[in-house]
Each structure stands twice: as structure tokens, then as C-alpha cells.
């Protein structure tokens, strides 16, 4: 009798106890994302990934520079699996802490939008533009190059956000294309024109639409968010500069996987999802960004990337964020203006 009782207990353990252990082993560990992209822009696509894959995801949101600083401070103890940055400069700040991505991920995007050594990959494209007030200006009134906004005729009419990481990426491109002296001259010229300083792009577009300033230096998609909310009567439009200079730079929101990630398989699945037709169509249709590959078409409200005059550079060359910030401080760009 005792023999049968023991045998019955063993069978129950095998059928139920081992099944429970198997369930625990099959459950995916939590994927931890540190995001320099705002919650309103990327939370829906991250939630969609989690629902489709049943991989639990936790996201820490903040400004790209602050998130990069946190990763540096945490070092090898960082719990982050992925750093999703507003631009490659932020990823450059933690470059030594990033893992090399598989070619199957990196090769999904064009060469200009991925790291030369395979440590990060572009997810969506954002054009630098001049947003202008349509009551006071026509597109033909605007100069061919962003360089010409140093003309005294623009005094008191400009808005910029020199503390914004995308603006700083543009200045890094100026340093790369124009050199230090010419970039310094441009910054000092804009400061002399007493620009209005804003903390980020959104209030610049709002100020242009209200006629408080005539032009602003921003990323393209902020205007389209205003137009979707306020309609075509909103009195601002984007101008893609006619010259192939840093004022028409195409940036990329980008992501990399931490070398210390404990969940690299799920991290790679997320990047593949972001670059899939589903992910790329989300960025094209919902955030008005340029898809970074051919798996989706840009919004009909946007020009084709190959229609724009833009400098041909690899975004991994814009990693010297500290040098750019030092130049901004030297020229009083971070404190000058109104």
C-alpha cells in the first residue's frame, strides 16, 4: 500500500510540479529599456511589442543626455538592456558600454544611419528644418542656407533650443562639415541676432504659429503634430533648406543594446520589431517620422528622403557631444538671446 502511495505522489509531482517548473522557465524575463525618446512618442509601439511577444517590458523615460549620464554612472551594474536615444550622440556618450549588434539587425538600415562598428542602429529619421510663420513669410523669403540667418535682418525673429540634443547634433554636423571656426562664427552671429531661447522644439513651433517669432530651428515632425491637432489653419509650415548644409541634416532616433544586458535575445527581438514593416509604419503614420528602411513609406504629408538636399554624412561621426557643448558655452549660445 505504501509503495502505491509513494508512486502516486511521484506521478502527481511529475505531472503538476514539473509542469509548474516548466512554466516558470518558459516565461520571458522582463526587458528593461532606458528611453531618451518621450513616452508619448514610443510607448504605443513598445506596448504593442510586449502584447505580441508576451515579453514584459519596463521603461525608464528621460532626456537622452540624462539617461546617458545614468548609464555611465551605473556602469556594469546598470539593469538596462536597451538604450533608445533621441539621436546617435547620446549613444556615443556610452559607446564603450554597448554591445555589437548582429549583422541581421544592422543591415536592415542604410549605412548612413547605423554605427560604423555595429553598436547602434537607426530606428526612425527626423529632418532638421526651419519652421516659419505663414502670415509674415513665404518660403521664397527664406535663405537657401541656415548659415544666412546670421544676417541682422533676422534680429529678434528667431527661436532656438540650444540645450536640445537634436539641435546639438546639428551643431556637431556643422563642426564636421564647416569646421570649428565657421561653426563658431555662425553661433556667434545667431546670438548677436538675439534669438528667443526655448527648452525644446514644441514651444518653438507654438511660438511661430502664434506669430511671436518668425522662424525656428526644429525637427520636422513637431509641426505635423500641431497640424493634426489644430488643422491646416495653423499658421506655420516647415522649410527644408535648399542648400545641402547642416540645416537640412537627417538625424535618426537610434538604439543599442548594453553589453551588460541580461536579456539580449529579447532586446534583439525588440530592435527587429522596430525595424519591421509594423514598427516602421507606426513611426511613419503616428509620429510623422521618416521610416529608416524600405519596409514602409513616409506619410504623404512628407517629402521623400531622396528629394531633399542634405549633407551626406554617417551619423556615427557626430559622437563628440562634449566638444559641441563646450563650443555652445564658449559662444554663449546656451545663455544668450531673450
pLDDT in tens, 62-92: 999 899 999 999 999 999 999 999 988 889 9
Model confidence over 129-176: pLDDT tens digits? 999 999 999 999 999 999 999 999 999 999 999 998 899 999 999 999
Q: How many other C-beta atoms can be found within 10 angstroms of the C-beta atom of residue 180? A: 11
- Residue whose C-alpha is closest to residue 221's, from 158, 291, 169: 291
**Cβ distance 34 to 68 under 8 Å?**
no
Q: How many other C-beta atoms can be found within 10 angstroms of the C-beta atom of residue 181? A: 9
Higher pLDDT, 147 or 24: 147
- Residue whose C-alpha is closest to residue 228's, from 27, 40, 33, 26: 40
307 CB burial (10 A radius; 0-12, 13-18, 19+): exposed
SS3 call for 135:
coil
Distance (Å, rounded) from C-alpha 217 to C-alpha 195?
11
Cell of 202: 514644441
**pLDDT of 105 above 80:** yes
Distance (Å, rounded) from C-alpha 158 to C-alpha 131?
10
- Residue whose C-alpha is closest to residue 90's, from 289, 333, 320: 320
Query: Band of the pLDDT at 338, cuts 50, 70, 90?
Result: low
Cell of 184: 563658431
Q: Mean pLDDT of all residues in the chain?
A: 90
Distance (Å, rounded) from C-alpha 94 to C-alpha 92?
5
Q: What is the H or E stretch that residue 59 is in?
A: strand 57-61
Flag the least confident range among 56-60, 233-237, 319-323: 319-323
Cell of 282: 507606426
Query: Band of the pLDDT at 312, cuts 50, 70, 90?
Result: confident
Distance (Å, rounded) from C-alpha 249 to C-alpha 36?
20
Amino acid at each position: 500500500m505504501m509503495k502505491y502511495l509513494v508512486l502516486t505522489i511521484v506521478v502527481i509531482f511529475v505531472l503538476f510540479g514539473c509542469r509548474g517548473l516548466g512554466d516558470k522557465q518558459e516565461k520571458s524575463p522582463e526587458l528593461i529599456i532606458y528611453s531618451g525618446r518621450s513616452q508619448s512618442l514610443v510607448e504605443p509601439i513598445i506596448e504593442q511589442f510586449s502584447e505580441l511577444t508576451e515579453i514584459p517590458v519596463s521603461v525608464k523615460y528621460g532626456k537622452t543626455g540624462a539617461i546617458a549620464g545614468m548609464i555611465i554612472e551605473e556602469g556594469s551594474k546598470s539593469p538596462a538592456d536597451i538604450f533608445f536615444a533621441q539621436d546617435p550622440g547620446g549613444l556615443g556618450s556610452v559607446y564603450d558600454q554597448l554591445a555589437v549588434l548582429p549583422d541581421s539587425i544592422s543591415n536592415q538600415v542604410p549605412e548612413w544611419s547605423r554605427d560604423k562598428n555595429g553598436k547602434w542602429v537607426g530606428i526612425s529619421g527626423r529632418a532638421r528644418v526651419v519652421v516659419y510663420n505663414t502670415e509674415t513669410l513665404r518660403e521664397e523669403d527664406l535663405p537657401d542656407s541656415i548659415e544666412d540667418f546670421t544676417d541682422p535682418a533676422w534680429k529678434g525673429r528667431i527661436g532656438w533650443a540650444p540645450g536640445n540634443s537634436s539641435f546639438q547634433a546639428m551643431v556637431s554636423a556643422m563642426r564636421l562639415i564647416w569646421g570649428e571656426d565657421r561653426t563658431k562664427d555662425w553661433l556667434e552671429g545667431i546670438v548677436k541676432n538675439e534669438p528667443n531661447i526655448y527648452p525644446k522644439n514644441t514651444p518653438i513651433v507654438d511660438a511661430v504659429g502664434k506669430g511671436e517669432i518668425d522662424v525656428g530651428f526644429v525637427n520636422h515632425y513637431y509641426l505635423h503634430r500641431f497640424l493634426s491637432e489644430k488643422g491646416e489653419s495653423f499658421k506655420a509650415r516647415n522649410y527644408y533648406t535648399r542648400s545641402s548644409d547642416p540645416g537640412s541634416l537627417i538625424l535618426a532616433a537610434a538604439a543599442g543594446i548594453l553589453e551588460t544586458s541580461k536579456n539580449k535575445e529579447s532586446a534583439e527581438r525588440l530592435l527587429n520589431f522596430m525595424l519591421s514593416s509594423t514598427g516602421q509604419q507606426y513611426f511613419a503614420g503616428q509620429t510623422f517620422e521618416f521610416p529608416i528602411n524600405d519596409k514602409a513609406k513616409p506619410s504623404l504629408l512628407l517629402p521623400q528622403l531622396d528629394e531633399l538636399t542634405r549633407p551626406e554624412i554617417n551619423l556615427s561621426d557626430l559622437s563628440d557631444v562634449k566638444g559641441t557643448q563646450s563650443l555652445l558655452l564658449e559662444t554663449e549660445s546656451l545663455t544668450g538671446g531673450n
